[in-house]
Amino acid sequence: MNLATKFRNTHPHAFFLDPEKPNALKDYLSYQEWIDSETDITSIENAGEDTMNKVVRVHLTNGKSYIIKQSRPWVEKYPDIPAPAERGNIEGAYFQEAGANDTIASFSPELLNADPDAHILMLEDLGEGTDLTYLYKKENSMDENVLAALMDYLSALHQNFTQATCDFYIENRGMRKLNAEHIFRFPFVDDNGLNLDDITPGLADLRDKYRTDKELMEQVAFLQYRYLQNGETLLQGDYYPGSFIHTADGIKVIDPEFCFFGDAEFDLGVFYAHLLMAQQPKEIIDSISDHYKKPPTFSDMLYQQYAGIEIMRRILGLAQLPLPLHLDEKEALLEQAYAMLLEE
C-alpha cells in the first residue's frame, strides 16, 4: 500500500501533499484561497529532512515562496510508526497563541493559513537556513549571543504562558504518549529493534548495566509519570539543536509539534542535556543560568533529572544523534546522567 492510499484510508476527503504532483497542490492552494487562481507553482523542493512531517517549499510565479507542512497519521521518516495526525493542528495553535507575544513572534515563522481537516499548515518561508546540529561535531561551539537569544525565547514562553494567564490549553496527549515511549521506555528494553553495538561497540553492555538498576528504573518511572501529567507552563516540547535554525534574520525556533502544558524544567533540561552531549565549553553551559529567567516554582533538581533522562535516551534509545563520541565518552555522559537522575 502506498502512502497516499494509506492516508486516504483514514482521511478520505482530505488533500494528500505530494511534491511530485505540483498541479494538484496548485489546485488545492487555489481552492483554499491561499493563492490566487492565476498564480502557478514554478517549483517544489523538500524543506528539511521530513522526520515527523512532510515539509516542502513552494515557489510561485508571483515571486513568493511558502512552506507547506502536513502531519500524517505516521512518522514521516518511519511510516510504519503511527503518530497522531492532529499534531499539525496543535502546532498551528501554538504558533497562533504563542505568536501573540512579540518575543516569541520574533523567533518564529508566521502562521499564514491552516487546514485542520488535512492537517496542513502554510508558514512563512524563512529562507535557506542551517540547523544547529553542527554543534554535535567536535570543535563547534555555540555563540553566546545565540544561547542568549534561545534563553530569551524560552524565558518569554515560560514566563508569559501559564495556566493562570492563558485562555487556551494545549494537552497534546497523543504526542506526549508517543514521546514518553521513546524517552522513558525504549532506551531500557531489549527488543526495541536497535543494535547499540552497531552504533558503538560495547554500548549494549552499558545499557544492560542501567536497565537492571532498580533505583534508576524507579526514578525513570517517576519522571515518566510526571511528564504525562498536565502542568502549569506552555512548553515548546522539543527544545534541542534540530529545532533551531540560523537564517538571514537571525536564529529561529521551529517545529513545536510536541508542545504542551507541563514542567518548565523539561524544556530547559532537554536544552542543557544537548549542550553536554555536544561537549560545549563550560562557560557556554554555565551561561544558561545567566540568561534564563526561571519561573517562581522552578526546581533545579527536576531540571537536572530531565536533563539526565534526555542524555540516556539519546545515547541508548532510538532517537540517535550524530555524536562522534567513543565508548568511553558515552560512558562518561551516562555516568553523569545517572548522577543527575539520582542525586538529591
Q: Output the domain CATH number for residue 117.
A: 3.30.200.20
Higher pLDDT, 234 or 8: 234
Asked if residue 34 has pLDDT above 80, the reply is: yes
Please tell me whether residues 198 and 74 are part of one structural domain: no
Domain ends where: 77, 109, 124?
Answer: 124
Please tell me whether residues 304 and 212 are part of one structural domain: yes
Per-residue pLDDT, 2: 86
Percent of the chain with pLDDT over 90: 91
What share of residues in the chain are helix, strand, coil (percent, to 5)? Answer: 45, 15, 40
Please tell me whether residues 120 and 142 are part of one structural domain: no
**Cα 344 to Cα 341: distance, rounded to the nearest angstrom:** 8
Q: Could you list the residue range(s) of the whole structural domain that residue 166 is in?
A: 130-342
Please tell me whether residues 318 and 301 are part of one structural domain: yes
Q: How confident is the model over 85-99, as a mean pLDDT?
A: 97
Instruction: Please check whether residue 24 is in contact with residue 11, taking contact to mean a CB–CB distance below 8 angstroms.
Output: no
Asked if residue 135 has pLDDT above 80, the reply is: yes
Please tell me whether residues 173 and 111 are part of one structural domain: no
Please tell me whether residues 198 and 117 are part of one structural domain: no
Confidence of residue 209 (pLDDT cuts 50, 70, 90): very high
**Cα 43 to Cα 122: distance, rounded to the nearest angstrom:** 16
Asked if residue 68 has pLDDT above 70, the reply is: yes
Asked if residue 69 has pLDDT above 80, the reply is: yes
Percent of the chain with pLDDT over 70: 100
All three cell numbers of 6, joined, read: 494509506
Please tell me whether residues 120 and 134 are part of one structural domain: no
Please tell me whether residues 141 and 250 are part of one structural domain: yes
Please tell me whether residues 143 and 84 are part of one structural domain: no
Confidence of residue 203 (pLDDT cuts 50, 70, 90): very high
**Cα 311 to Cα 276: distance, rounded to the nearest angstrom:** 8
Confidence of residue 344 (pLDDT cuts 50, 70, 90): low
Domain ends where: 124, 151, 178?
Answer: 124
Closest CA to 316 of 337, 297, 344: 337
Please tell me whether residues 112 and 210 are part of one structural domain: no
Per-residue pLDDT, 325: 97
Confidence of residue 3 (pLDDT cuts 50, 70, 90): confident
Looking at the 3D structure of the chain, how many domains does it have? 2
Per-residue pLDDT, 117: 96
In this prediction the pTM is: 0.95
Domain ends where: 80, 99, 124?
Answer: 124
Helices (H), 292-326: 300-316
Please tell me whether residues 157 and 279 are part of one structural domain: yes
Please tell me whether residues 323 and 209 are part of one structural domain: yes
Per-residue pLDDT, 337: 98
Confidence of residue 270 (pLDDT cuts 50, 70, 90): very high
Q: Output the domain CATH number for residue 180.
A: 3.90.1200.10
All three cell numbers of 147, joined, read: 544561547
Per-residue pLDDT, 50: 80
